Every structure is written in structure tokens, then in C-alpha cells.
Structure 1
Amino acid sequence: MSHETNEIIEPLLYEYLKQDSIVPFQRCLEKYSAEKLVTPSGNSLLHVAVSYGSDKIANYLAKEFPSLITSQNSQEDTFLHVAAREGRVSPTAKSLVQLNPSLMKKTNKKGNTPLHDAVIMGHKEVVVWLVNKEPDVAYYNNNTGQSPLYLAVENSKENGILDVLLNTEASMPIKREDGESLGTLPDGKSPVHAAIVQRSIVILKKIESAKPELFRLQDKELGNSLHYASSIGFLEGVQFLLQKFCGSANEVNQEGNYPIHLACKNDSVDILKEFLKIFPYPKEFLNKKGQNILHVAAENGQGNLVRYILKRDPKLIDPLLNEMDVDGNTPLHLATQHGRSTAAFVLVRDNRVDPSIVNTEDLTPYDVAHRQSKIAVAQYEKTEEKLAEERKEFDSNGTEDKAVDLRKPETKKASSKDYKLPDYYGAMTTLSILYFHTHPKKSLQQRFSSTQGKPPRKEETKSRIENLLVVAVLVAGVTFAGAIQLPQLKSTNSSNEHHHDFNSTVPHNTTAFDSPTGSSLLDGYLCLDVWALNTSVVAAIILLWTNLNDVKFAPFAVWFSSLMVGGSIYMMCLAFFFAVSIALGGSNYGVFAIIIIVVGVLFFFAQTLLYLQWLLPPSITLILEGVLSHYVYYCSFFLLFYGWRWLPDKLYEIKRKRSSSSG
């Protein structure tokens, strides 16, 4: 309806409409053209009269101006939409609908029919009248694919509207596929799926009693009802559907997965148990990728499910352990490919799992883990500008390159919001797990030949020079301050625990270090402090010198200065240990002093081991870092990540066994 030549309704007409005063309304209307009078939102006089429940004026307008009956406002609402939202379907409105039945199916800009609006607003009497007149409208979908029945389930209010819509004689239209009895939703959303979202067994039972055919429908993206209940971990819903509609477990969704596969994507052992109770032959369920339930659980990192599956009857489970999908990947391949460290750890420790199987790319699980770690490292080292370019390219192409192996697979065209970086920690941890259990042994000669130190690039060298210069200056400043303010001895000779300074300007304190031990500690402190000061100053001078000379010498200067700065830090820490020993030399706190000394000695050895890497050739250092990094990742995974997950599950399992035995 075009409002370009319309006029705005005057306030006086509003008053007559509110009061349903027909006579003064008629007199006032003589000055205007009724068809052209609208509100700012495009409502006609009939819209306004119906919204106020002014039946006399509405009847008059319908008789005198028939064009208003089918007029629509700026949102394309008819007067029946307004009446349904207001919950006021007067006898006049009913008679107009009787003469114009097409109004029942008219939709507004949202795609809502009057029945949609009545359901949304919760007007039961209006819903009853509308659905009796046109039952099929209960299954009409709006722009978001929601039918009135879907909305009634979604609102799930105790107003009786759901029961009214379920008891209609109409049935949901479906698309038949190749003459089969199973259908798919034409365009909208299934009311059963809405009940599953609500996790309401009561509504599921109502639908099963009134419209059981709705459970046979499939959503294009969500699959059938059992697919959806399994994917969101709705245990009671899965139990109900397996009991009432067991056959739906043998259907695949658009991605080619059975409901049991979606159950394995969700970290719920209880749901998988329900499937295996009825279908104790898991090897028969293969998706379109040729993957069994162990493939899916491992690929999605569900360690609890993997552990549960491995404990089942060996006759049923053994065929799953080393089975290959269409790409030749075993469950262990998929766990390593996606950086699922928990699942990989459980699988690789099972003696029945063969870690030497190669896929179609001729890669073992360890080879896959090694490749994925390189991809993760490459992504980690990229700049933000480079990553932004990749996201832009990913968004335009909608596809990913080889570096996508660690990312979540998508079945539809991806966008920049779907772009995800590889899980660096997951990739490195998974590689470390397989390194300890399955990695091929290399000789020392192979390690040296395959590991060579490469000189850093110019920009990287410049950055290292700047960082080392800052550290060298900081160390020089700290050691200079330490030389001026010498450590203090806590004297036990005086009753007031007076502290004696070791400054040469205070001669009466020299008696505090008459003992050879105290003098030796002070000499050691001064020696280390002066050594650290000079070493850091020399390193700073060399670094400054690189800015005035040929850049070809910069990598060597950086390497040499790194050794000196590292040595100065090492000596500064050792000097601090001497200072602490001096401070505790006159103390009576023996236990405290022992603790400090023991901790200091431990850290001294740790610092010594770390500093030794600075002195070794780069090739040996890289080999040590490669080996030690596996220990670091493995220990952190075992003690933190895996421990946090395994221990609570174990305690829960013990508690459940005790409760079941006592019961």
C-alpha cells in the first residue's frame, strides 16, 4: 500500500475511534477520503478501529469502504494481523474473514500469518478460532522457517495453545524423496527439534501422542530428531526416541553421519551407552567418510568416550581400533591430525593400536603429528598483517589450504569468522606424546646432519640487538648499585640486633667480619659483582659497535654478546646467593638459613644447566631443545591437562560404583 498521497489521521478521529462513537465519527469523516487516512506507521482507519475493539465503526468502514478490508500498513499487516495481536476478533472481523478467507493466509514482512501473531502473543481464543477456520496455516513457515506450531513449542507456556495446534486435523506438508515414506521439512523447522531444544520430555510425549509423523521428518542441517538430541547431549530425549522411534538410528543426515556418530562428537558416555544397548555392533555404523564411532570420538578429542570404547568387549571393539577411513586414517591418525592430545594419549597406550599404519599419504600417526607441529609453528610465527591477509583470502575463496588440517571441518562455504588458527599447544603436546611412544629412533649422526643452525634475518638481528642492549644496561645498573651498597651482616653480639654495614667508610664495623668465612663471602660477592658489571658493559659496547660497522658482523656480535649478557646474569644471580649467605651469617635462624641455602643451590644448578646451552654450538643446542621440549610438553600434559581430566572422572566412577553397590 503506497502512502505517498495519504493524510495523517487527526486526533479528533482517534477519540471517536477509541469511544466507538459512530455518529460523530461519520460527520467528521465527511471532510476526508477514508481510504487515504493513515497513521504514521501506515495503519488505516480499519486497522485502528480493530485495535481499539470499536466494532460499530469497523462494521461501518467495511461496508462503506471495502478496499480497507485488504489494505496493509507499512509492515504489510492486514487488520486481521492487528486483531490477532490484540486478541480482539470481534463478530465484525469474523464476518469479514468469512467473506475474505484469503486473509487467513496473508503474511506480513516477517512472513507471519495472523495465526503466527496470535501464538506469539499467547491469545488462545483467537488461536482456536483461526485454526478451526484454516487448520493448514498451523504449519505455514515465516521468514525464519518457524510455523505457528513450532512457535507454540518454543514458547512452551501453559496456555493450552500447543494442545490446540496439535489436535488440528491438518498434517505438516513434507517433501517425499524417491517415493520413500520418509520425508524432509520443506523449508522450515521441525516442532520436534524445538521440543528437543527445550529438553522437554513432556512436549515430546504430547507430540508423539498427537502427531507421531513429525518425528519422521528430517531437517536439512540438523537431521532427524535422534540426530539432534544426540548432538546436544539430551540423554532423556535420546532414551525416549530410541524407545519410540528406534528406526531413526539407522538414518544418515546431510553429512552422512548416523545419530551414534553425533553422540560420539558430544562428550557424553551415557548417551553412547544407550546406543550400544540397542545396537551392540558398532562396526556396522560407518559414515560417508568410512569412519566408525572411534574415528569420530578421536577426531573430536573426546578422551572419555575413547577410553570407554576401548574398555568394551574386545570382540566388538577390536575391529574399530585400526580400521582406516576413506583417506586411510586410523583413529590415531585423526587424533594426531587435529591435535587431540587426550584421545591420542589413550589410543597410543593401548597395545592393540598399531602406530605404524600409514594412510593414503604414506604417513604414520607420528609423521602426521610432526607435520601438524610444523604447520602450527609456521602459523604462530606469522605476523598479524600476514594472518589478516590469509583471513581475507580465506573469506573470498571460502576454502582452506593444507594448513587447515588442525581446524574444524566445515560442510558449507566458510567465512572469515570460521577462520581458526591451529591449536599450537595441542599440536606440540600430541607430537610429544607420540614422540615418547612411537617415534622412530635416529642415530647421533642423523641428528647432526638434519639439524643446522641458520643465521637470523636482518630485521630479527636488529631486534635482538635492541633487546640485548636493554638487558645489558639493566644488569650493569643493578651490579653498579650492588657494588656501592654492600650486603649487611646480622650481628648476634649486641642485644639490640644491630646491623653492621660493610662500607669501608665505617671502620668500627670491620670487626664483624674478623672470621675467615665472612671475609671470603664478601670477597666472593665483590668479585662476582664486578665481573658481572664489566661483562655486561663490554656486551653493551659490542652491541653499540655493531651500529657503526659492517652489518655482516652483526650476527656474530649478537651471538658473542648473548654469551656475555647471559654470563653476567648468571654471575649476578650467584652474587645474590653470596649476599644472602652474608646476611644469614650472623643469624640465629638455622632452619630458615638452611632452607634458603638449599633453594639457592637448586636454582644455581638449574641456572648452570640453562647457561650451558649458551656455550654449546647451535646445532647441539637445537637438538637439546628439540628433545627437552618433548619432555616439557609431555610432563605438563600428564600432570596438568590429563591429570585434571582423568582424576575427576576416576573419582566419579568410583563414587558411582559405590552408590550402585550400596543400592
Structure 2
Amino acid sequence: MADMVAFGPHRMGLSLELLRVLTAGDTVGLAELLRREKQTNGQVAITVQAAVAPGAVPPPPPPGTSCLHGVTSNGNTALHLVASRGHAELAALICDRAPSLVATRNKCLHTPLHCAAKSGSRDVAASILATMRTTGADAQMALRARNWTGATALYEAVRHGHTRVVDLLMKEAPELASLATDGGFSPLYLAASINSRQMVQSLLRPSQDGTQSPASFSGPKGRTALHVAAASIQEIPRELLKWEPVGPSLLTEVDSSGRTPLQYAVLYGRLDVVDLFLDGHTSEQSRIPDNHGLFPVHTAAMMGSSRIIDELIKKCPNYYELVDDRGRNLLHCAVEHNKETVVRHICQDEKFAMLLNATDADGNTALHLAAEHGFPRIFSLLLQVMTVDIGITNKDGLTAGDLGYRAKQCGRVYYILDPCAVLFRCLWWSGVTNTLTLDGVHPLHVDKKLADLFQNKIEATEDEPYNEKGKTGTIGSVLIATVAFAAAFTVPGGFIADDHPNAGTAILAKKFAFRAFVVSDTMAFASSIIATSFLIYGAREQIPRNHRSRYNAVASGLVPVAWQFLIAAFAFASHLVLGHTNRGLIVFVYTVCLATVLLCTPGIWLPMQQ
């Protein structure tokens, strides 16, 4: 690194007066300083500050050294400073008086051309390039120099969005477009990623002698400029495809994940770009799978884009034969990713009929996957198609009904709108029978090992008294019953005194809120008592498993009802205590209680996220 960092021919500090002139862009002041220096026959007539540690005595400058050859503490020369600030006249003057500065680099390995590219000063960059052409080999090497991020001056101009500088560099030094950073980012890739059509055109423009642009299209992880352009506006990929003969060949280039630019266009849902890639170009790209065997049509199904699917199958008449490494077709992918719009589109179009009963490597149809993942809407869509066979078994001998039954029984917290519970009711209403009984006995087409495995799952789920979930439910229902019982005899407002008529009755008994409080408290007490009884009764080992499952299901439904009524009783009691003088506070109590019921009841909001 010490050899790479060359801050100038001499480690001499720039004077304060010279720094002021350079930063202010004072051309007259710089000319005066240089004139005074010339009058001293090359000796520096102004005080200089050496780039040494504070307090140290700076070494005297060598005879004949110009004041322009000094550096700042960061290694910047006078040309670095004026290039960073876009002072074109100063840059031209410095290049004329000290042309060797065009090849110097600061601590960040920036050349003055890097600084001009970052600041966007086209005139400064033009002066530096003109000096480089008339200087020695060192200046020519500096033209291709990279900073400590591995970026050339052209890359910095693209990164900062300076189109005029990019256009100049492509005219004067087009070979810079072929150099990528250490991370593999080429200027063309970067221009495409920031959606700059003008810079893409400048980078791809042929040189004056008619030769094609030497631009590199490389990007990180094996991606090309067309990969990243697939997610941008349509004009940028169109410009890349015009780049003959390289552009059209990029359509079949794959990145490290095996994806083509078409895959990226599908992934980002860019129908216009998909049309561009498929229009007038080879259809081979639509038959190139990624590293997981997924074709573009699979990606479209996973993203839920029916229109892109229709465009792709025009180029792939044998789309039904395109399966991934797990043997899944596009319908399998749509079901697994819960893309209801794609499934509906396939069910309503007869040309997709052969996909409906197709099986994957595990023997699962789309109906199997909908049942296994618990997607009741997709399951109902498939059931509405008359050609869907509900009796197909997978490689384990399980039908879609078996998987739906197993999903309901194993490892799920039951509530009335649970997707698996809804799906199971769809199976029941549709007359789809399962071949797995409650006792875990499976017909002869399933081996004993699978039946034992399913039996263990059922037992682990149904033995509620022996797990923490059953104990927690019992404790919760008892607590609700206790609170409701106590609230019934500590009514809000108190009781009428013994020396008054109707002694011992509630003072606020005639108010509507009081009657609502009594009803809510009674329902909370009754629901929790019934749930507690069912949980205790279901814990007995003598109870058959089918009865135990029913008792637990009823208790699971009653406990949420009980605490919802308890919340309502709290709201009505607060209303009675606050009275009509605190209407704003009453509204606040009702709002918070209602929000509590809505947010803490999965049966209300969880189905919306399915």
C-alpha cells in the first residue's frame, strides 16, 4: 500500500495562502503567487507547511520545487482541490504550470480526474484529459487508475449521475467502460441499475471510427446489465438489446442462481419488459431453468401474475411439461404460494385442464397441497372444477382429504375461523371422505409405519391434560369464573341502605348500562364454568378420544367467549361509575375495550392474512 499511495513528487505542505486561493477559486490570486515564485528563480517565496506531525519542524523544500507540488494532510494536491470544487480556470492554469500533478493520487487513491468526475465538472475533466494526452506514460496509467474502492473515474461519474462527464470520458477514453470495480460492478451495470437511459446510451455509443463500444456488462454474482435492467423502465433494456451483437446474447446469460434476465422481469412483475424480451427474440430463454429447476412460468405463478403466464405459454406450448426439481408445475407453485388469482385463472381456462390432476415428485396434486398448507379458498376453487379428482393418493397413500384432516388435528390452535378448520368443513360439506380414522387406523394401501406415525401425532395433540396448553386453558377459565362471580356481588354504584325502600338492591338497577353489565357478567360466568367443566371432564383418561376431542373443541371456543363478555362487563361497569358528566372518558373506555376484543381475537383478523 505504501508503494501505491503517491502523494506527489515531494511531501511538501501547501501554504495557507495557497489553500485560500485554491478553495476560493481565485485565478488572479494564484497567478500572482506563481508570478512571485518565478521572480525568486524557482525558490518558494511563501511559507509552506510540511505534511508532518503537529509541532515538528517541516523540512525545507528542495530547490526548484514549485509551490503547486505541495499536498494537504489528506494527500490532496492543488489540482485535487480545484477539481473537487469545479474551478475550471484554475485547473487549466495548474495543468499548464505543473502537468505532472495529473498522475498524483491522494490517500484515498483518487486522481484529480476522479475528483473532477465526482464533482461533475466537465471542463475540469477536459483540461486533465488534454494534459494526460501530452504527458508521459505515468499520466496514461493514471487515466485507468482505480481508487481504494476499485472504481475508475468513469465509474465515479456514473455513480454520481454526471451524464456530461460520462459522455466526455466515453469520447476521450472509451476503454474505461471495460473496467469493473473489485466487486464486479461495471459502469454499464451501475447506469442500468439507477435507471439512467442517457448514461446507458453514452456507454453503448460506438466510437468515432465506428467500432463498437468496449463497455463491460458484468455485475455482481454473475448478473449482467440486462438482469438489473429487467426491473427498470422499458427503455433501458431496449437500449441494451440494440447493442449489437452483444445485447441480444445477454438474454440467455444466467447469474449465479441460474436466472436469466427474463426471470428477473417476471420476478418484478414487469409485463412490458417480458413482452420486449419475448418479442422478436429467441424463445429459448423461456425454457432455461434456474438452479432449483424453476422456469419463468413457475416464477410468474409464484408471483401471482396471470397475464405474464399467458404471455409465456405463447412461447412455450409444452408449458405443462415444465416442472422444477421437485416435479411441480406452475399450478403447484401457485398453490404453495397461496396465489388465489392464478389458481382461479387456471381453473377457469380449459387449456390448463391437464394441470389440475398432475402430480409432483411426492405424488401430490394441487388439491393435496391446498389441503396440506391450509388454504381453504384455493381448495374450494379446485373443488368447483368437475374434472378435479379428489380420490388421487400421493406416494404415502394419502388423499387430499387425509392431508386436510391431518392438518386440522396436528399442531394447530383451534378457533372457529382457523383456515384448517374451514378447509376441513369444506371437505365435510363436499362429501370428501378421508381414509384416516380418528383412531389412526389406515387402510391397507398405507403401511403400518405411516399409520403409527399419524397415530402418534393425534395422541400428542389430543392428550390435553398432559400438556401445558390444557393446563393453561383450565387456569384461564377458572380465573374468568372467579372474577365474574366476584363482580356480581360488588356491583357498580353500591346497594340501597337498609332504612330505605327496596333495601339491599342495586342503586343503579334501573339503568340500561346496569342491565347490560349483569347480562355480560352472567354470560362470562356461565361460559367459563362450562368450559372449565369440559376441560376437567376431558382430562380423564377413561373418556374416549373422540369424546375428548369434542370437549376440548367446545372448551376452546367457550373460553374466548367468556373473556369477551368479561371485557364488555368491565366497559358497562365503567360507564355506570363515570356517569353522564364524563362522556369523553366513556367513549375512550368503550373504544379501548372494543379494540381489545378485535385485536385479541384471532378468529376476526387472522383469516384476512391468509
Q: Which deviations, in whole Å up to 9, do the C-alpha atoms of 1:75-131 show, x marking residues without a partner?
A: 221222112223221435423156533334322233321111222334344322321
Contact 2:14 2:71 in 1 (8 A): yes
Contact 1:49 1:58 in 2 (8 A): no
In structure 2, the partner of 1:111 is 150
Q: Report the CA distance shift for 1:599/1:479 in structure 2 as closer, same or farther (over 3 A).
A: closer
In structure 1, the partner of 2:336 is 299
Q: Distance in 1 between matches of 2:125 and 2:174?
A: 17
In structure 2, the partner of 1:474 is 483
In structure 2, the partner of 1:13 is 18
Task: State the 1:217 CA deviation.
Answer: 3.0
Task: State the 1:595 CA deviation.
Answer: 11
Q: Are positions 1:32 and 2:61 aligned together?
A: yes
Task: State the 1:6 CA deviation.
Answer: 5.2
Q: Are positions 1:242 and 2:278 aligned together?
A: yes
In structure 2, the partner of 1:170 is 213
Q: Which deviations, in whole Å up to 9, do the C-alpha atoms of 1:122-160 show, x marking residues without a partner?
A: 4344322321344343243335543222333334457x4
Q: Distance in 1 between matches of 2:199 and 2:274?
A: 26
Q: Are positions 1:191 and 2:117 aligned together?
A: no
Contact 1:348 1:434 in 2 (8 A): no
Contact 1:223 1:252 in 2 (8 A): yes
Q: Distance in 2 between matches of 1:325 and 1:643?
A: 29
Q: Which deviations, in whole Å up to 9, do the C-alpha atoms of 1:217-271 show, x marking residues without a partner?
A: 3333472222111111112222222223351212222332211111101122222
The residue type equivalent to 2:227 in the other structure is H
Contact 1:46 1:69 in 2 (8 A): yes
Contact 1:291 1:324 in 2 (8 A): yes
Q: Are positions 1:505 and 2:499 aligned together?
A: yes
The residue type equivalent to 2:344 in the other structure is R
The residue type equivalent to 1:474 in the other structure is V
Q: Are positions 1:354 and 2:389 aligned together?
A: yes
The residue type equivalent to 2:363 in the other structure is G
Write out aligned runs for 1:393-412 (5 A): none
Q: Secondary structure at the match of 1:283?
A: helix
Task: State the 1:16 CA deviation.
Answer: 4.2
The residue type equivalent to 2:262 in the other structure is L
Q: Distance in 1 between matches of 2:93 and 2:47?
A: 15
Q: Distance in 1 between matches of 2:234 and 2:319?
A: 27
Q: Which deviations, in whole Å up to 9, do the C-alpha atoms of 1:600-625 show, x marking residues without a partner?
A: 99999978975763574434663215
Task: State the 1:294 CA deviation.
Answer: 0.8
Q: Are positions 1:439 and 2:434 aligned together?
A: yes
Q: Are positions 1:282 and 2:333 aligned together?
A: no
Q: Secondary structure at the match of 1:244?
A: coil
Task: State the 1:465 CA deviation.
Answer: 9.1
Q: Are positions 1:311 and 2:348 aligned together?
A: yes
Write out aligned runs for 1:316-355 (5 A): 316-355=351-390
Q: Report the CA distance shift for 1:308/1:233 in structure 2 as closer, same or farther (over 3 A).
A: same
Q: Distance in 1 between matches of 2:602 and 2:305?
A: 22
Q: Report the CA distance shift for 1:643/1:164 in structure 2 as closer, same or farther (over 3 A).
A: closer
Contact 1:146 1:189 in 2 (8 A): no
Contact 2:68 2:98 in 1 (8 A): no
Contact 1:147 1:188 in 2 (8 A): no
Q: Report the CA distance shift for 1:121/1:475 in structure 2 as closer, same or farther (over 3 A).
A: closer
Write out aligned runs for 1:45-124 (5 A): 45-51=78-84, 52-53=87-88, 54=90, 55-62=92-99, 66=100, 68-86=101-119, 87=121, 88-97=124-133, 99=135, 100-124=139-163
In structure 1, the partner of 2:585 is none
Q: Distance in 2 between matches of 1:598 and 1:461?
A: 28
Q: Report the CA distance shift for 1:327/1:350 in structure 2 as closer, same or farther (over 3 A).
A: same
The residue type equivalent to 2:358 in the other structure is E
In structure 2, the partner of 1:613 is 534
Q: Are positions 1:233 and 2:269 aligned together?
A: yes
Find the partner of 1:220 among 245, 248, 256: 256
In structure 1, the partner of 2:445 is none
Q: Report the CA distance shift for 1:85/1:281 in structure 2 as closer, same or farther (over 3 A).
A: same
Contact 1:104 1:130 in 2 (8 A): no
Task: State the 1:49 CA deviation.
Answer: 4.4
Contact 1:59 1:92 in 2 (8 A): no
In structure 2, the partner of 1:623 is 549
The residue type equivalent to 1:265 in the other structure is M
Q: Distance in 2 between matches of 1:367 and 1:353?
A: 16
Q: Report the CA distance shift for 1:77/1:438 in structure 2 as closer, same or farther (over 3 A).
A: farther
Q: Distance in 2 between matches of 1:80 and 1:37?
A: 18
More helix by share: 1
Q: Which deviations, in whole Å up to 9, do the C-alpha atoms of 1:580-609 show, x marking residues without a partner?
A: 9x957xx9x9xx999999999999997897
Contact 1:220 1:253 in 2 (8 A): no
Q: Report the CA distance shift for 1:370/1:72 in structure 2 as closer, same or farther (over 3 A).
A: farther
Q: Distance in 2 between matches of 1:444 and 1:79?
A: 82
- Mind listing any 5+ residue stretches in structure 2 that lack a counterpart? 38-43, 49-59, 207-211, 442-453, 559-600
- Mind listing any 5+ residue stretches in structure 1 that lack a counterpart? 175-183, 382-423, 487-500, 511-521, 527-578, 646-663
Contact 1:185 1:219 in 2 (8 A): no
In structure 2, the partner of 1:542 is none
Find the partner of 1:41 among 51, 56, 74: 74
TM-score normalised by L of structure 2: 0.65
Contact 1:185 1:220 in 2 (8 A): no
Q: Report the CA distance shift for 1:444/1:371 in structure 2 as closer, same or farther (over 3 A).
A: closer
Q: Secondary structure at the match of 2:98?
A: helix
Q: Which deviations, in whole Å up to 9, do the C-alpha atoms of 1:194-219 show, x marking residues without a partner?
A: 33322x22333333334533434333
Q: Are positions 1:208 and 2:255 aligned together?
A: no
Task: State the 1:40 CA deviation.
Answer: 3.7
Q: Report the CA distance shift for 1:483/1:638 in structure 2 as closer, same or farther (over 3 A).
A: closer
Write out aligned runs for 1:411-450 (5 A): 437-440=432-435, 442=437
Q: Distance in 2 between matches of 1:611 and 1:469?
A: 6
TM-score normalised by L of structure 1: 0.61
Contact 1:324 1:330 in 2 (8 A): yes
- Equivalenced residue count is 492
Q: Distance in 1 between matches of 2:520 and 2:353?
A: 51
The residue type equivalent to 1:439 in the other structure is N
Q: Report the CA distance shift for 1:455/1:625 in structure 2 as closer, same or farther (over 3 A).
A: closer
Q: Distance in 2 between matches of 1:60 and 1:595?
A: 95
Q: Distance in 1 between matches of 2:226 and 2:270?
A: 13
Q: Secondary structure at the match of 2:125?
A: coil
Q: Are positions 1:137 and 2:172 aligned together?
A: no
Q: Which deviations, in whole Å up to 9, do the C-alpha atoms of 1:379-401 show, x marking residues without a partner?
A: x89xxxxxxxxxxxxxxxxxxxx
Task: State the 1:297 CA deviation.
Answer: 0.8
Task: State the 1:292 CA deviation.
Answer: 1.0
Q: Distance in 1 between matches of 2:403 and 2:11?
A: 71
